[in-house]
Chain A
């Protein structure tokens, strides 16, 4: 069977639109609430990225940091995250889930044990922010054996030669970082120049799906809708923080936001 991630891209393509990928932090602001958010936004999102919170994140901006610290403070552990995924999959068997985080969490869990747990709980892909190519070669192979996509990150600083090598080794989905920034930065380059870089990447292997992320919000998402997929993370984390601050229900507010995001790329 094809990985649900590929199926989700196919479905979006059939509908002549970009796939919408959301990012929320597991355990933000509580285990139950993060599960409720996943369930609720899965109506509109095509692929759900679930952040594994880490307390020394070297690539995340303030919004995701706030969410991560909140989740850690509320006691989230690695095993809880697998439980959230498993619980979610009970009612959403085919909705793809990607875990995104930092390598130390996998390293401490044990690579093999981690991947087994991914399999039994229903994780379909992994993004490991600080495990670049070629350091990730062995681990990516292990993922492949378990039918889990290891998603390679590509950046504006990645040289053409390096892009070719990474994409040659990559699984069917890649993630293009739109600009030099941590997550949640203001879009400091024009959507056109992002798409230009994106097109160059696509040329290397048109069959591989490429999602664009970093700096994508309600305002900018429409201008990038010709991509295979678009990731919104910090804007969602910000919505959770805002809801908590105003004593509103994050589940409702985040769902509304995701619906709106979806409408912009239809």
Chain B
């Protein structure tokens, strides 16, 4: 299994949609074959269409707010006393997280295909919030599927979705989290694919959804590369890119532009959700060696029992609380291009405390997982190393959890 150079990773799947011959694919009901094929044809055409690219860039710049900041965390660097710690503040993007890129592209595609309705899944509520924003912007009617447990713990985003005119549909099946929301959303699409477009909220699902999402979030690393050259004159000799990994959309987008660099120069570190330190449950299939299986239309490493039933996950961060992982990351793991590790709930909370103590930055619980590992590893490195953490979400949505776990003083607005 090998990564090819000079070909975007999203285009390295074989004819049936498998990366490395075994990750991804299209394990879907027959009814979805045609709509998926239509979407593939449309996307393959538009991703090389100059007019479409110009349209995308225009919305990314004027509406999403590209580029998001790239800043040095001076105080944190001094406190840690090792490598230089920087952050790509993707939470600057309109809506407060990277999910806006994928949502915008899906709405643009839906418009082109003449669909009037769009549906999507959400865990932390960001994918849903952004889809509701984009749907409103582009005049599409929107339904968001969200696990009942997540609705309870991510109220600020639920309110935002409703304000944008989206219908939020609670999902009560299974663990009532993201995994069930994705299943329910796909079921709805099975029944309504003639009139409705579907947006999968991360680099998961049938191959075309993995590709569209990865293509969209790659905006992050395109911006970062320019910013690095502006700052350092070239891409630094020792670069380490830390990102949390749930489904894997922000991390893939954060890394994509640096794929062809030697990993000794540009190392990718993915941080999964290890769950509560006292619990055996987790959402870290790559770190803890889960077996390959099929979830939501794609072959991937996934938490499951011996029979193939998908196992329940547990994490303080709703956005990482997913038993599977993008086929792209399975491929990056097996080709050893990226390294994966996990941080526990407690690690993430403690990193959140540290970051907010020293910096004017409030990473949500998802990127707090990445900060936890970055801070630990930066300590052992020297000043020549540039550590960058993608702060891909804002902690506003986590107010209630932070208040409960850390106390009121941690939720004062910036």
Residue of B31, B173, B174 ringed by the most chain A CB atoms within 10 A: B31
A204: Cβ under 8 A from any B Cβ:
no
Minimum CB–CB distance for A126 against chain B, Å: 15
CB atoms of A135 and B29 under 8 A apart: no
- B180 contacts across to A, CB distance below 8 A: 56
- B307 contacts across to A, CB distance below 8 A: 77-78, 105, 108-109
CB atoms of B190 and A182 under 8 A apart: yes
Residue of B34, B187, B192, B193 ringed by the most chain A CB atoms within 10 A: B187
CA A59 to CA B307, docked complex, whole Å: 19
CB atoms of A132 and B28 under 8 A apart: yes
Question: Quick one: which of B16, B33, B186, B293 contacts A157, CB cutoff 8 A?
Answer: B33
A177: Cβ under 8 A from any B Cβ:
yes
A104: Cβ under 8 A from any B Cβ:
yes
Question: Quick one: which of B16, B31, B183 contacts A155, CB cutoff 8 A?
Answer: B31
CA A23 to CA B350, docked complex, whole Å: 52
- B294 contacts across to A, CB distance below 8 A: 102-104, 107, 130
CB atoms of B29 and A181 under 8 A apart: no
A153: Cβ under 8 A from any B Cβ:
yes
Q: Given A78-B307, A153-B30, answer yes or no on A59-B293 (Cβ-Cβ < 8 Å).
A: no
CA A253 to CA B34, docked complex, whole Å: 39
Chain A, interface SS category: loop
- Mark B183-209 against chain A: 1 for CB-CB distance below 8 A, else 0: 100110011111000000000000000
Q: Given A56-B296, A59-B29, A135-B16, answer yes or no on A158-B34 (Cβ-Cβ < 8 Å).
A: yes
- A104 contacts across to B, CB distance below 8 A: 293-295, 304, 308, 310
CB atoms of B187 and A58 under 8 A apart: yes
CA A77 to CA B306, docked complex, whole Å: 9
CB atoms of A153 and B308 under 8 A apart: no
- Mark B13-37 against chain A: 1 for CB-CB distance below 8 A, else 0: 0001000000001111111111100
Minimum CB–CB distance for B303 against chain A, Å: 11
CA A132 to CA B16, docked complex, whole Å: 11
CB atoms of A158 and B29 under 8 A apart: no
Minimum CB–CB distance for A90 against chain B, Å: 24
Which residue in chain B gives the minimum CB-CB distance to A78? B307
- Mark A88-116 against chain B: 1 for CB-CB distance below 8 A, else 0: 00000000000000111101110000000
CB atoms of A181 and B191 under 8 A apart: yes
Which residue in chain B gives the minimum CB-CB distance to A55? B309
Question: Quick one: which of B30, B297, B308 contacts A108, CB cutoff 8 A?
Answer: B308
CA A133 to CA B28, docked complex, whole Å: 10
- B297 contacts across to A, CB distance below 8 A: 58, 130
CB atoms of A130 and B27 under 8 A apart: yes
Question: Quick one: which of A72, A102, A182 contacts B187, CB cutoff 8 A?
Answer: A182
CA A46 to CA B304, docked complex, whole Å: 35
CA A72 to CA B307, docked complex, whole Å: 11
- A129 contacts across to B, CB distance below 8 A: 29
B179: Cβ under 8 A from any A Cβ:
yes
A162: Cβ under 8 A from any B Cβ:
yes
- A222 contacts across to B, CB distance below 8 A: none
Those of B273-313 within 8 Å (CB) of chain A: 291, 293-297, 304, 306-310
Those of B293-339 within 8 Å (CB) of chain A: 293-297, 304, 306-310
CB atoms of A157 and B295 under 8 A apart: no
- B306 contacts across to A, CB distance below 8 A: 108
Minimum CB–CB distance for B212 against chain A, Å: 19
CA A112 to CA B13, docked complex, whole Å: 26
Those of B1-55 within 8 Å (CB) of chain A: 16, 25-35
- B27 contacts across to A, CB distance below 8 A: 103, 130-131, 135
Q: List 10 A-B contacts (CB under 8 A).
A: A56-B179, A56-B296, A78-B307, A104-B295, A107-B308, A132-B28, A157-B31, A157-B193, A158-B30, A180-B192
Residues in chain B within 8 A of chain A (CB atoms):
16, 25-35, 173-174, 179-180, 183, 186-187, 190-194, 291, 293-297, 304, 306-310
The 4 closest A-B pairs by CB, nearest first: A108-B308, A157-B34, A104-B294, A104-B308
